[in-house]
Protein backbone atom coordinates (compact mmCIF):
# COMPACT_ATOMS: atom_id res chain seq x y z
CA UNK A 1 0.00 0.00 0.00
CA UNK A 2 1.29 3.45 -0.94
CA UNK A 3 -0.31 6.64 0.33
CA UNK A 4 0.21 10.29 -0.54
CA UNK A 5 -1.27 13.52 0.84
CA UNK A 6 -1.58 16.80 -1.06
CA UNK A 7 -2.96 20.08 0.27
CA UNK A 8 -4.86 22.95 -1.32
CA UNK A 9 -5.24 25.55 1.40
CA UNK A 10 -7.21 23.89 4.15
CA UNK A 11 -8.31 20.92 2.02
CA UNK A 12 -6.19 17.79 2.25
CA UNK A 13 -6.49 15.02 -0.34
CA UNK A 14 -5.34 11.43 0.18
CA UNK A 15 -4.67 9.05 -2.69
CA UNK A 16 -3.70 5.46 -1.96
CA UNK A 17 -2.52 2.77 -4.35
CA UNK A 18 -2.69 -0.94 -3.65
CA UNK A 19 0.33 -3.18 -4.07
CA UNK A 20 -0.08 -6.48 -5.97
CA UNK A 21 -0.55 -8.42 -2.73
CA UNK A 22 -3.25 -6.05 -1.46
CA UNK A 23 -6.94 -6.65 -2.18
CA UNK A 24 -10.02 -4.51 -2.80
CA UNK A 25 -11.88 -6.64 -0.24
CA UNK A 26 -10.59 -6.52 3.32
CA UNK A 27 -11.72 -6.69 6.95
CA UNK A 28 -11.75 -4.08 9.69
CA UNK A 29 -10.75 -4.78 13.28
CA UNK A 30 -14.13 -6.25 14.28
CA UNK A 31 -14.21 -8.66 11.33
CA UNK A 32 -16.66 -6.80 9.08
CA UNK A 33 -15.84 -7.48 5.38
CA UNK A 34 -15.25 -4.26 3.45
CA UNK A 35 -15.07 -3.56 -0.28
CA UNK A 36 -13.44 -0.49 -1.75
CA UNK A 37 -15.35 1.99 -3.90
CA UNK A 38 -12.52 4.44 -4.62
CA UNK A 39 -8.94 5.16 -3.62
CA UNK A 40 -9.30 8.86 -2.79
CA UNK A 41 -10.89 11.10 -0.21
CA UNK A 42 -10.60 14.69 0.98
CA UNK A 43 -10.79 16.41 4.35
CA UNK A 44 -11.81 20.07 4.45
CA UNK A 45 -10.26 21.73 7.50
CA UNK A 46 -11.73 24.99 8.82
CA UNK A 47 -8.40 26.70 8.13
CA UNK A 48 -5.01 25.81 6.76
CA UNK A 49 -2.95 24.48 9.69
CA UNK A 50 0.50 25.86 10.33
CA UNK A 51 1.94 22.36 10.22
CA UNK A 52 0.90 18.71 10.56
CA UNK A 53 3.34 16.22 12.05
CA UNK A 54 4.13 13.34 9.66
CA UNK A 55 2.94 10.79 12.24
CA UNK A 56 -0.51 12.43 12.33
CA UNK A 57 -0.80 12.33 8.54
CA UNK A 58 0.38 8.72 8.47
CA UNK A 59 -1.99 7.55 11.22
CA UNK A 60 -4.93 9.34 9.59
CA UNK A 61 -4.14 7.45 6.39
CA UNK A 62 -3.66 4.18 8.27
CA UNK A 63 -7.17 4.35 9.79
CA UNK A 64 -8.40 4.28 6.19
CA UNK A 65 -6.13 1.81 4.39
CA UNK A 66 -5.46 -0.76 7.14
CA UNK A 67 -8.23 -3.19 6.09
CA UNK A 68 -6.73 -3.67 2.61
CA UNK A 69 -3.01 -3.66 3.44
CA UNK A 70 -1.36 -7.08 3.45
CA UNK A 71 2.41 -6.70 3.77
CA UNK A 72 3.67 -3.12 3.87
CA UNK A 73 2.57 0.51 3.83
CA UNK A 74 4.73 3.25 2.34
CA UNK A 75 3.88 6.78 3.43
CA UNK A 76 4.82 9.88 1.45
CA UNK A 77 7.02 11.34 4.22
CA UNK A 78 9.20 9.80 6.94
CA UNK A 79 7.45 8.77 10.16
CA UNK A 80 8.85 8.19 13.62
CA UNK A 81 10.33 4.79 14.51
CA UNK A 82 7.76 4.66 17.34
CA UNK A 83 4.77 4.79 14.97
CA UNK A 84 6.42 2.39 12.53
CA UNK A 85 7.01 0.01 15.44
CA UNK A 86 3.40 0.27 16.62
CA UNK A 87 2.09 -0.60 13.16
CA UNK A 88 4.55 -3.45 12.86
CA UNK A 89 3.69 -4.91 16.26
CA UNK A 90 -0.04 -4.39 15.93
CA UNK A 91 -0.65 -5.58 12.39
CA UNK A 92 2.52 -7.32 11.27
CA UNK A 93 2.85 -4.66 8.55
CA UNK A 94 6.13 -3.08 7.51
CA UNK A 95 5.68 0.70 7.72
CA UNK A 96 8.00 3.41 6.49
CA UNK A 97 10.03 5.22 5.60
CA UNK A 98 11.24 6.23 9.04
CA UNK A 99 13.08 9.44 9.77
CA UNK A 100 14.24 11.76 12.50
CA UNK A 101 11.21 14.03 12.86
CA UNK A 102 10.77 12.86 16.43
CA UNK A 103 7.61 12.08 18.35
CA UNK A 104 4.95 14.71 19.04
CA UNK A 105 2.82 15.58 22.05
CA UNK A 106 0.01 17.94 23.00
CA UNK A 107 -1.56 19.24 26.17
CA UNK A 108 -5.30 19.40 25.48
CA UNK A 109 -8.06 16.80 25.42
CA UNK A 110 -10.76 17.20 22.75
CA UNK A 111 -14.04 15.32 22.37
CA UNK A 112 -14.94 13.53 19.16
CA UNK A 113 -18.46 14.91 19.19
CA UNK A 114 -21.33 13.32 17.27
CA UNK A 115 -24.26 14.75 19.23
CA UNK A 116 -25.50 11.33 20.35
CA UNK A 117 -26.18 10.38 23.96
CA UNK A 118 -22.75 8.88 24.54
CA UNK A 119 -20.77 11.89 23.29
CA UNK A 120 -23.09 14.29 25.12
CA UNK A 121 -22.40 12.29 28.30
CA UNK A 122 -18.66 12.71 27.66
CA UNK A 123 -19.27 16.44 27.24
CA UNK A 124 -21.00 16.50 30.63
CA UNK A 125 -17.95 14.87 32.19
CA UNK A 126 -15.51 17.24 30.47
CA UNK A 127 -17.26 20.64 30.40
CA UNK A 128 -14.18 22.57 29.27
CA UNK A 129 -13.06 20.22 26.49
CA UNK A 130 -13.38 21.45 22.88
CA UNK A 131 -15.40 19.50 20.30
CA UNK A 132 -14.18 18.10 16.99
CA UNK A 133 -17.08 17.14 14.71
CA UNK A 134 -16.46 15.05 11.58
CA UNK A 135 -19.13 15.79 8.97
CA UNK A 136 -19.88 13.66 5.93
CA UNK A 137 -20.09 15.44 2.56
CA UNK A 138 -20.54 14.07 -0.97
CA UNK A 139 -17.72 12.55 -2.99
CA UNK A 140 -17.11 13.84 -6.54
CA UNK A 141 -16.62 10.32 -7.95
CA UNK A 142 -19.00 8.15 -5.90
CA UNK A 143 -22.82 8.37 -6.03
CA UNK A 144 -24.54 9.01 -2.69
CA UNK A 145 -26.56 5.88 -1.87
CA UNK A 146 -27.42 7.20 1.61
CA UNK A 147 -29.26 10.41 0.83
CA UNK A 148 -31.31 9.97 4.02
CA UNK A 149 -28.20 10.47 6.18
CA UNK A 150 -28.62 14.04 7.48
CA UNK A 151 -25.06 15.00 8.34
CA UNK A 152 -26.00 18.65 7.79
CA UNK A 153 -28.52 18.47 10.63
CA UNK A 154 -26.00 16.87 12.99
CA UNK A 155 -23.39 19.52 12.19
CA UNK A 156 -25.86 22.37 12.73
CA UNK A 157 -26.83 20.93 16.11
CA UNK A 158 -23.14 20.74 17.09
CA UNK A 159 -22.78 24.43 16.22
CA UNK A 160 -25.68 25.30 18.54
CA UNK A 161 -24.00 23.79 21.62
CA UNK A 162 -22.00 26.94 22.30
CA UNK A 163 -18.86 24.89 22.93
CA UNK A 164 -15.51 25.49 21.26
CA UNK A 165 -16.05 23.58 18.02
CA UNK A 166 -13.92 22.48 15.09
CA UNK A 167 -15.83 21.00 12.15
CA UNK A 168 -13.92 18.96 9.58
CA UNK A 169 -15.92 18.04 6.47
CA UNK A 170 -14.93 14.90 4.56
CA UNK A 171 -16.10 12.46 1.89
CA UNK A 172 -14.06 9.69 3.56
CA UNK A 173 -17.06 7.41 4.14
CA UNK A 174 -17.58 7.05 0.40
CA UNK A 175 -14.33 5.09 0.07
CA UNK A 176 -16.47 2.06 1.00
CA UNK A 177 -18.73 0.39 -1.55
CA UNK A 178 -19.91 -2.44 0.70
CA UNK A 179 -21.59 -3.02 3.05
CA UNK A 180 -22.51 0.69 2.86
CA UNK A 181 -20.83 4.11 3.07
CA UNK A 182 -19.00 4.28 6.37
CA UNK A 183 -15.62 4.37 8.07
CA UNK A 184 -13.12 1.72 6.91
CA UNK A 185 -12.02 1.42 10.54
CA UNK A 186 -14.02 2.80 13.46
CA UNK A 187 -10.98 4.92 14.28
CA UNK A 188 -11.26 6.81 10.98
CA UNK A 189 -13.77 9.07 12.73
CA UNK A 190 -10.62 10.61 14.24
CA UNK A 191 -9.16 11.72 10.89
CA UNK A 192 -10.34 15.30 11.44
CA UNK A 193 -8.88 15.42 14.94
CA UNK A 194 -5.61 13.91 13.73
CA UNK A 195 -5.23 16.53 11.01
CA UNK A 196 -6.03 19.35 13.45
CA UNK A 197 -4.14 17.94 16.47
CA UNK A 198 -1.07 20.16 16.12
CA UNK A 199 -3.17 23.24 15.41
CA UNK A 200 -5.31 22.58 18.52
CA UNK A 201 -2.43 21.28 20.72
CA UNK A 202 -4.22 17.98 21.27
CA UNK A 203 -2.68 15.21 23.33
CA UNK A 204 -5.83 13.14 23.68
CA UNK A 205 -9.13 12.46 21.95
CA UNK A 206 -12.16 11.44 24.03
CA UNK A 207 -14.69 9.19 22.36
CA UNK A 208 -18.13 8.05 23.51
CA UNK A 209 -17.56 4.29 23.45
CA UNK A 210 -19.26 2.86 26.53
CA UNK A 211 -19.24 -0.35 28.59
CA UNK A 212 -20.85 -2.51 25.91
CA UNK A 213 -18.43 -1.39 23.20
CA UNK A 214 -15.29 -1.49 25.35
CA UNK A 215 -15.83 -4.51 27.61
CA UNK A 216 -18.84 -6.61 26.55
CA UNK A 217 -18.01 -7.40 22.96
CA UNK A 218 -19.80 -4.70 21.00
CA UNK A 219 -22.51 -5.20 18.39
CA UNK A 220 -20.55 -7.43 15.98
CA UNK A 221 -18.25 -9.20 18.41
CA UNK A 222 -18.84 -12.56 20.01
CA UNK A 223 -21.19 -11.95 22.94
CA UNK A 224 -18.64 -12.09 25.78
CA UNK A 225 -16.32 -10.14 28.06
CA UNK A 226 -13.45 -8.78 25.96
CA UNK A 227 -10.77 -7.07 28.08
CA UNK A 228 -8.39 -7.24 25.11
CA UNK A 229 -10.93 -5.64 22.76
CA UNK A 230 -9.22 -5.28 19.39
CA UNK A 231 -10.46 -1.76 18.83
CA UNK A 232 -10.58 0.03 22.17
CA UNK A 233 -8.19 -1.56 24.67
CA UNK A 234 -5.42 1.04 25.22
CA UNK A 235 -2.85 -1.75 25.12
CA UNK A 236 -4.27 -2.97 21.80
CA UNK A 237 -2.95 -2.19 18.35
CA UNK A 238 -4.98 0.95 17.78
CA UNK A 239 -4.37 2.32 21.26
CA UNK A 240 -0.61 1.90 20.86
CA UNK A 241 -0.63 3.49 17.40
CA UNK A 242 -2.52 6.58 18.58
CA UNK A 243 -0.23 6.88 21.62
CA UNK A 244 2.82 6.68 19.34
CA UNK A 245 1.42 9.62 17.36
CA UNK A 246 0.91 11.63 20.54
CA UNK A 247 -2.89 11.59 20.43
CA UNK A 248 -4.07 9.20 23.14
CA UNK A 249 -7.47 7.54 22.85
CA UNK A 250 -9.56 8.33 25.93
CA UNK A 251 -12.83 6.58 26.84
CA UNK A 252 -14.41 8.60 29.69
CA UNK A 253 -17.65 6.57 29.56
CA UNK A 254 -15.90 3.28 28.83
CA UNK A 255 -16.96 1.87 32.19
CA UNK A 256 -20.65 2.85 32.16
CA UNK A 257 -23.65 1.53 30.28
CA UNK A 258 -25.84 3.29 27.76
CA UNK A 259 -28.42 3.69 30.52
CA UNK A 260 -25.96 5.92 32.37
CA UNK A 261 -24.92 7.87 29.28
CA UNK A 262 -28.60 8.36 28.42
CA UNK A 263 -29.33 9.66 31.92
CA UNK A 264 -26.37 12.04 31.77
CA UNK A 265 -27.33 13.26 28.30
CA UNK A 266 -30.97 13.86 29.22
CA UNK A 267 -29.85 15.87 32.24
CA UNK A 268 -27.24 17.82 30.31
CA UNK A 269 -27.38 21.46 29.28
CA UNK A 270 -26.92 20.11 25.74
CA UNK A 271 -30.17 18.10 25.80
CA UNK A 272 -31.75 20.40 23.19
CA UNK A 273 -28.98 19.45 20.75
CA UNK A 274 -29.12 15.71 21.54
CA UNK A 275 -29.62 13.57 18.43
CA UNK A 276 -28.73 9.93 17.85
CA UNK A 277 -30.92 9.48 14.75
CA UNK A 278 -29.05 9.90 11.44
CA UNK A 279 -32.24 10.38 9.40
CA UNK A 280 -34.51 12.91 11.08
CA UNK A 281 -34.67 16.59 10.15
CA UNK A 282 -36.97 18.30 12.65
CA UNK A 283 -36.32 15.55 15.20
CA UNK A 284 -35.58 11.80 15.34
CA UNK A 285 -37.32 9.90 12.54
CA UNK A 286 -38.82 7.39 15.00
CA UNK A 287 -38.85 4.61 12.41
CA UNK A 288 -35.23 3.41 12.18
CA UNK A 289 -33.60 0.67 14.21
CA UNK A 290 -31.45 3.10 16.16
CA UNK A 291 -34.49 5.13 17.19
CA UNK A 292 -36.18 1.95 18.44
CA UNK A 293 -33.13 0.83 20.42
CA UNK A 294 -32.55 4.25 22.00
CA UNK A 295 -36.27 4.64 22.76
CA UNK A 296 -36.10 1.44 24.81
CA UNK A 297 -33.19 2.84 26.81
CA UNK A 298 -34.75 6.27 27.26
CA UNK A 299 -38.08 4.77 28.34
CA UNK A 300 -36.25 2.57 30.87
CA UNK A 301 -34.36 5.57 32.28
CA UNK A 302 -37.56 7.63 32.49
CA UNK A 303 -39.62 4.68 33.82
CA UNK A 304 -42.38 5.10 31.26
CA UNK A 305 -44.05 3.01 28.53
CA UNK A 306 -42.47 2.71 25.11
CA UNK A 307 -43.45 5.39 22.59
CA UNK A 308 -43.10 3.95 19.10
CA UNK A 309 -45.21 3.15 16.06
CA UNK A 310 -42.86 0.34 15.02
CA UNK A 311 -44.59 -3.05 14.91
CA UNK A 312 -43.25 -6.61 15.05
CA UNK A 313 -43.51 -6.99 11.29
CA UNK A 314 -41.13 -4.14 10.51
CA UNK A 315 -37.63 -5.24 9.42
CA UNK A 316 -36.00 -3.14 12.17
CA UNK A 317 -37.93 -5.13 14.80
CA UNK A 318 -37.46 -8.66 13.46
CA UNK A 319 -34.30 -9.38 15.44
CA UNK A 320 -36.26 -8.92 18.68
CA UNK A 321 -38.66 -11.68 17.62
CA UNK A 322 -35.79 -14.18 17.72
CA UNK A 323 -34.04 -15.74 20.74
CA UNK A 324 -30.82 -14.16 22.07
CA UNK A 325 -27.97 -13.36 21.92
CA UNK A 326 -28.57 -9.80 20.74
CA UNK A 327 -26.18 -6.99 19.94
CA UNK A 328 -26.15 -4.70 22.97
CA UNK A 329 -27.92 -7.41 24.96
CA UNK A 330 -27.11 -5.88 28.33
CA UNK A 331 -29.23 -2.86 27.38
CA UNK A 332 -32.07 -4.99 26.06
CA UNK A 333 -32.12 -6.73 29.43
CA UNK A 334 -32.03 -3.37 31.21
CA UNK A 335 -34.89 -1.98 29.16
CA UNK A 336 -37.06 -5.07 29.34
CA UNK A 337 -36.69 -5.08 33.14
CA UNK A 338 -37.83 -1.47 33.54
CA UNK A 339 -40.25 -0.43 30.80
CA UNK A 340 -43.88 -0.76 31.94
CA UNK A 341 -45.98 -2.92 29.63
CA UNK A 342 -42.97 -4.39 27.83
CA UNK A 343 -45.03 -7.55 27.21
CA UNK A 344 -47.20 -5.58 24.79
CA UNK A 345 -44.34 -4.18 22.69
CA UNK A 346 -42.00 -5.38 19.93
CA UNK A 347 -39.62 -6.47 22.70
CA UNK A 348 -42.09 -8.92 24.25
CA UNK A 349 -40.39 -12.02 22.83
CA UNK A 350 -36.95 -10.80 23.90
CA UNK A 351 -38.28 -10.08 27.40
CA UNK A 352 -39.65 -13.62 27.71
CA UNK A 353 -36.31 -15.11 26.69
CA UNK A 354 -34.15 -12.84 28.86
CA UNK A 355 -36.30 -12.83 32.04
CA UNK A 356 -34.32 -9.87 33.33
CA UNK A 357 -35.23 -8.04 36.52
CA UNK A 358 -34.24 -4.71 38.02
CA UNK A 359 -32.10 -6.60 40.51
CA UNK A 360 -30.32 -8.63 37.83
CA UNK A 361 -29.50 -5.48 35.84
CA UNK A 362 -28.69 -3.06 38.68
CA UNK A 363 -24.96 -3.34 37.93
CA UNK A 364 -25.61 -1.35 34.74
CA UNK A 365 -26.32 1.77 36.79
CA UNK A 366 -22.72 2.00 38.03
CA UNK A 367 -19.18 2.19 36.65
CA UNK A 368 -16.77 -0.69 36.09
CA UNK A 369 -13.63 0.43 38.03
CA UNK A 370 -10.91 -0.89 35.65
CA UNK A 371 -12.21 1.48 32.98
CA UNK A 372 -10.99 4.45 35.01
CA UNK A 373 -7.52 2.96 35.36
CA UNK A 374 -7.26 2.87 31.54
CA UNK A 375 -7.71 6.63 31.17
CA UNK A 376 -4.37 8.39 30.57
CA UNK A 377 -3.06 10.04 33.71
CA UNK A 378 -3.54 13.71 32.69
CA UNK A 379 -7.33 13.27 32.60
CA UNK A 380 -7.92 10.33 34.93
CA UNK A 381 -8.68 12.26 38.12
CA UNK A 382 -11.26 14.50 36.49
CA UNK A 383 -13.19 11.51 35.14
CA UNK A 384 -12.79 9.57 38.40
CA UNK A 385 -14.15 12.42 40.48
CA UNK A 386 -17.15 12.91 38.18
CA UNK A 387 -17.98 9.20 38.25
CA UNK A 388 -17.52 9.04 42.00
CA UNK A 389 -19.87 11.96 42.57
CA UNK A 390 -22.50 11.42 39.86
CA UNK A 391 -22.59 7.68 39.14
CA UNK A 392 -20.80 5.48 41.66
CA UNK A 393 -18.69 2.36 41.20
CA UNK A 394 -19.63 -1.30 40.93
CA UNK A 395 -19.09 -3.59 43.87
CA UNK A 396 -16.82 -6.61 43.44
CA UNK A 397 -19.86 -8.80 42.78
CA UNK A 398 -21.18 -6.37 40.20
CA UNK A 399 -17.78 -6.15 38.52
CA UNK A 400 -17.85 -9.94 38.21
CA UNK A 401 -21.04 -9.56 36.17
CA UNK A 402 -18.94 -7.70 33.61
CA UNK A 403 -16.09 -10.20 33.77
CA UNK A 404 -18.32 -13.25 33.35
CA UNK A 405 -20.48 -11.72 30.62
CA UNK A 406 -21.28 -14.28 27.95
CA UNK A 407 -19.93 -17.25 29.91
CA UNK A 408 -23.35 -18.62 30.84
pLDDT in tens, 312-358: 999 999 999 999 999 899 999 999 999 999 999 999 999 999 999 99
pLDDT of amino acid 177: 81
Q: Are residues 246 and 282 in the same domain?
A: no
Q: Are residues 193 and 108 in the same domain?
A: yes
Q: Are residues 176 and 272 in the same domain?
A: no
| pLDDT class of 97 with cuts at 50, 70, 90 | very high
Final residue in a domain of this structure, among 233, 250, 267: 250
Report if residue 374 sits inside a domain: no
Closest CA to 69 of 102, 111, 27: 27
Final residue in a domain of this structure, among 333, 354, 375: 354
pLDDT at residue 221 greater than cutoff 70: no
Q: What global pTM score does this model have?
A: 0.96
Q: Are residues 150 and 295 in the same domain?
A: no
Q: How many CB atoms lie within 10 A of CB 43?
A: 24
Q: What CA–CA distance (Å, rounded) separates 386 from 384?
A: 5
Residues 6+ apart with CB under 8 A from 100: 78
Q: Are residues 274 and 305 in the same domain?
A: yes
| pLDDT class of 25 with cuts at 50, 70, 90 | very high
Q: Are residues 216 and 291 in the same domain?
A: no
Report if residue 372 sits inside a domain: no
Q: Are residues 333 and 282 in the same domain?
A: yes
Report if residue 375 sits inside a domain: no
Report if residue 379 sits inside a domain: no
Q: State mean pLDDT over 382-399.
A: 98
pLDDT of amino acid 77: 96
Q: State mean pLDDT over 223-240.
A: 91
- In terms of residue numbers, what domain contains 315? 258-354
Report if residue 404 sits inside a domain: no
Q: Are residues 281 and 232 in the same domain?
A: no
pLDDT at residue 176 greater than cutoff 70: yes
Q: State mean pLDDT over 158-164.
A: 96
Q: State mean pLDDT over 115-133.
A: 97
Residue 277, burial from CB neighbour count under 10 angstroms (0-12, 13-18, 19+)? buried
pLDDT of amino acid 219: 52
Q: Are residues 240 and 287 in the same domain?
A: no
pLDDT more than 90, % of the chain: 85
pLDDT of amino acid 281: 82
pLDDT of amino acid 223: 76
Domains contained in the chain, number = 2
pLDDT of amino acid 222: 58
Contact by Cβ (8 Å): 168, 195: yes
β-bridge mates for residue 36, sequence order: 176
Could you report the per-residue pLDDT of 45-80, keeping only the tens digit for each? Answer: 999 988 899 999 999 999 999 999 999 999 999 999
Final residue in a domain of this structure, among 250, 273, 301: 250
Q: Are residues 178 and 34 in the same domain?
A: yes
Q: Are residues 219 and 302 in the same domain?
A: no
Q: Are residues 290 and 192 in the same domain?
A: no
pLDDT of amino acid 408: 67
Q: State mean pLDDT over 74-95.
A: 97
Amino acid sequence: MRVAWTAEGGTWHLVFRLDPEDDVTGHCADGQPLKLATNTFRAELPRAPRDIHPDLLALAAWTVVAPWTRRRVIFDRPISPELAGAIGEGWGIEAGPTGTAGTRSGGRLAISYSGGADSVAVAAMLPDAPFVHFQRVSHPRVPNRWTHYRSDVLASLAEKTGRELTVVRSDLEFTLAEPRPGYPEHHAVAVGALLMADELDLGGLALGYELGSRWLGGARYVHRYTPDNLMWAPHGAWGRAFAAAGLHLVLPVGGVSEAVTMRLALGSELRAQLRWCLRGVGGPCGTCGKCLYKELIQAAVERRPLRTTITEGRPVARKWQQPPPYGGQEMIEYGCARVPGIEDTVFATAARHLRATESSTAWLDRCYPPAIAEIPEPWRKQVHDFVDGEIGFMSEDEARRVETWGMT
